[in-house]
Amino acid sequence: MSSLIEPAKLTKKDFETDQDVRWCPGCGDYSILANVQRVMPELGIPPERIVWVSGIGCSSRFPYYMNTYGFHTIHGRAPAFAMGIKVANPELSVWIATGDGDGLSIGGNQLMHCLRRNLDVKLLLFNNRIYGLTKGQYSPTSEVGKVTKSTPFGSADQPLDPASFGLGSNATFVARSIDTEAAHLSDVLRRAARHSGAAFTEIYQNCNVFNDGAFDSFTDRAVKAERQLRVEHGKPLVFGEKRDKGLRLNPKTFSLEVVPVGEDGVPESEVLVHDETNQTLAYMLARMPYPEYPVALGVLYAVNRPTYDGVLRTQKAQAQGRAGAADLARLLRGGAAWEI
C-alpha cells in the first residue's frame, strides 16, 4: 500500500541564497528583499519555477539574493529579457527588479512597451530619487532644484512620477508602497503576484548614503497618518490619525479636494469611494501634489485584460491548427526557391 507524500511547505529560508547581501548598511533594499522573501512561500510556486530579472543599479543585485533562477542583464533592458523568458516558458513566474534610473531613464522605452503589452510579469521599481550605484547623480524622479554631483546648481528637469508613467503606459495594475512599511508592502506584493498581466509597483526606497530622508516628510512615524492615504477598493478615501479627513470631487473644478470629515465637517457618505477599476480616479490619486494632498499608497488601479504572452500562445495554436503537423523539409523546399 502506498501513500502520497505531501510536498514540504516552503519558508522564507527556501528563497534565501548563500550570497552576502551587499547593499550599504541601512539601505531600504534590505527591507524590500526581506518582504519579498516572506511573501514568496505564500504563492505556492517552487523556487525553480520563479525567475528574477534585473538591469543595472543597486536594485539590480536582487537576483543574487533570491534562491530562484535569475538574470542580471544590461542597463534598462530587463523587460526585453523578461519578455523572452515568459514567452518561451509561460509556466514560469517572472519578476523584474528595477530602479528609477534603470527603469525610467535608459529603460523607459523598454518599460513602457512591457506595460502596454500587458506581459504577465511582476515589476518592482525602487524609487529613491537618485542614482545610488554611480554615487549620487540626479535621476528622472529627482525634484526640481535637486543639487547633486551632476547638477551642482540644481536640477532643471521636471521629475517623472512612476505611478503616473505606469498608468499612462496603459498598465493593468499600478500600485505604490514604502520600503519600511512591511505589512503594507507585503499586501501589495500579494496583490501583484495574483494579478494576471503586467503588475507595476512603485516602492519608495530610502538611499541613506546619497539621498537620505528623501521621503521622511510623509514616511516618518510622527506624521505618516496625516500625510498618507491608504487606498482600498470599495472603501472611502479617508485619512488622518483620527480618520477625520477625506477626498471629495469638487464639481466646479472637477478636481479632488481635501475636506474635514465627521462632526466638524462633511459626512463620510460625501467622501469618494476608491474604485481601483477607474483609471481616471487612479491618475488623479497618483498626481495629487504633495504636501497640499496626502501621498496615495496601495493598489491605485487594477483591471483584467488579455496578456501579451497569452495572445501569442493562442495565435501559435491557431497557426498550428491551420498548418497541420510541422514539416521542416517542406518548409525549406517550399515558397521561392531556386535550383543551381
Rounded mean pLDDT of 163-170? Answer: 98
pTM of the model: 0.93
156-160: average pLDDT: 95
Q: What is the mean pLDDT of the chain?
A: 94
pLDDT in tens, 120-139: 999 999 999 999 999 999 99
* pLDDT confidence bin for 333, thresholds 50/70/90: confident
CA 316 → CA 63, 86, 107, 313, distances in Å? 31, 15, 29, 5
Over residues 276-282, the mean pLDDT reads 97
Report helix, strand and coil shares of the chain as percent, to nearest 5: 35, 20, 45
Distance of CA 97 to the CA centre of its chain: 8
- Note the pLDDT tens digit of each residue in 77-132: 999 999 999 999 999 999 999 999 999 999 999 999 999 999 999 999 999 999 99
pLDDT at residue 332 greater than cutoff 90: no
pLDDT in tens, 304-330: 999 999 999 999 899 888 878 778 887
Binned at pLDDT 50, 70 and 90, residue 4 comes out as: low
- Identify the band that residue 144 occupies on the pLDDT scale cut at 50, 70 and 90: very high
Least confidently predicted of 139-143, 175-179, 315-319: 315-319
Q: What is the mean pLDDT of residues 178-204?
A: 98
Is the pLDDT assigned to residue 338 strictly greater than 80? no
Instruction: Output the pLDDT for position 103.
Output: 97
pLDDT at 337: 65
Which domains are seen in the chain, by residue range? 12-235+274-309 (3.40.50.970), 237-273 (no CATH)
